[in-house]
Structure 1
Amino acid sequence: MVAQDEAQHRAGPLIVWINGAFGAGKTTAAYELHRRLPGSLVFDPEEAGFYIRARLPKHLHGDDFQDYPMWRSINREMLAYLAENHPGPIIVPMTVVSERYMDELVGALRSSGVRVDHYALTASRQTLLRRLRSRWESERSWAAQQIDRCLAGLAGETFDVHIQTDGMNASEVVARIAELSGLALTPDRRGPLKRGWDRLRTKAGHIRFGR
């Protein structure tokens, strides 16, 4: 996979890929970043998975829609198209822990000249479980059962820059991503109640009950 520090020096469109185990805060960080980056958009690769699964007969359903080759190709092509045609940053909150799948997605985009800044949000298992509980998911939920697999997969150097989020709030995570990517954030003028409500709505709107 093309190294991030090399890709960061390329001019042109920018994709900010926010990776991490379920409960790491990817979606919250993505939408907080979007709110403070005028002209940015959030692209959710999971939507292609729901589309594919809804149109396949049940005997072709797998455990994880990332295993469908067309899921990877659709998202790669969509992101390449957006990078070519959308003038602002494209923010992608998506858990991918397979090195091969990351190479097919991020590696291929970088090889084609697209700048992709990839960040893996990490946290302890206890922190991840606490965050999952805050979005009404138990330790028996699908997301909780993926924690160990995700932590092991994301530990590799393939996943570029790691941001340890234990003890960090969403604003601090966003500020760190912006600093690393050289992005100028607009001031956050929301009060604590509005900020909390926005984050609660984001959590509630992106709860996944299995894949």
Structure 2
Amino acid sequence: MIIWLNGTFGAGKTTTAGELVELIPEARIFDSEYVGYMLRHVRDLPQVRNFQQWPPWRGLVVETASQLLGYLGGVLVIPQTVLVEEYWTEIRTGLEKAGIPLHHFLVHTDQDTLIHRIETDGVEREARQWRLDHLPDYRDALPWLSREATTVDTTGVPPERVAQIIAVDVLPHRA
């Protein structure tokens, strides 16, 4: 199965993913951003603002996840922001066609907490600004994200607890 952690940049997806793999022994993180990094080296791809705009990225994420699960089994935890509904639908449909159970979570926090997390994160200033610049895209995506994902409000909740909430939802018999 796949546990997909969606949400805006700086919401805590990667930290939560790390906690989840500690709770679910057969789980491992698949960082689908590396598929985008790989594609950046391909000549003649059009210039885009975000590698998710390349159709091969979406197809390769589905195929790579499918191959990994077929080879390793278990659970893939994918901490990846997807804010374009069309892209999400393409990924979800591809995973469904591959017969892979998918649990989609929206890691969400209130605006003040989110801005505080971004501004106090240890990443370089340029990365913090990039995250802040993408907040309007996230706000615009919230209506469809709220329909497509189970929302987990992380406001004032430590990452360990967020991971426990998700693990209980996905694997209730283990709680």
Calculate the TM-score normalised by the size of structure 2: 0.89
- Structure 1 residue 77: deviation in Å? 0.5
Q: Secondary structure at the match of 1:56?
A: coil
Q: Is the 8 A contact 1:22 1:95 kept in 2?
A: yes
Tell me if 1:32 matches 2:46. Answer: no
Q: Is the 8 A contact 1:122 1:151 kept in 2?
A: no
Q: Which residue of 1 aligns with 2:63?
A: 77
The equivalent position to 2:138 in structure 1, one of 150, 158, 162, is 150
**Identity score, percent:** 29
What amino acid does structure 1 have at the position aligned with 2:169? L
The structure with the greater share of residues assigned to helix is 2
- Structure 1 residue 89: deviation in Å? 0.9
Deviations 1:29-64 (A, max 9, x none): 00111122222110011001111113335x832111
Q: Is the 8 A contact 1:17 1:92 kept in 2?
A: yes
Unmatched 5+ stretches in structure 2: none
Q: Which residue of 2 aligns with 1:89?
A: 75
Q: Which residue of 1 aligns with 2:168?
A: 179
Deviations 1:167-191 (A, max 9, x none): 1110110011001101637xxxxxx
Q: Which residue of 2 aligns with 1:103?
A: 89
CA distance in 2, matches of 1:91, 1:16: 5
Q: Secondary structure at the match of 1:30?
A: helix
Q: Is the 8 A contact 2:5 2:77 kept in 1?
A: yes
Size of the aligned set, in residue pairs, is 171
CA distance in 1, matches of 2:83, 2:23: 28
Q: Which residue of 1 aligns with 2:156?
A: 167
Which entry has the higher C-alpha Rg, 1 or 2? 1
Q: Which residue of 1 aligns with 2:32?
A: 45
Unmatched 5+ stretches in structure 1: 1-13, 186-211
What amino acid does structure 1 have at the position aligned with 2:58? R
CA distance in 2, matches of 1:176, 1:150: 23
Q: Is the 8 A contact 2:24 2:167 kept in 1?
A: no
Tell me if 1:68 matches 2:54. Answer: yes
Q: Which residue of 2 aligns with 1:134?
A: 120
Q: Is the 8 A contact 2:21 2:27 kept in 1?
A: yes
Matched ranges for 1:4-23 at <5 A? 14-23=1-10
- Structure 1 residue 135: deviation in Å? 1.6
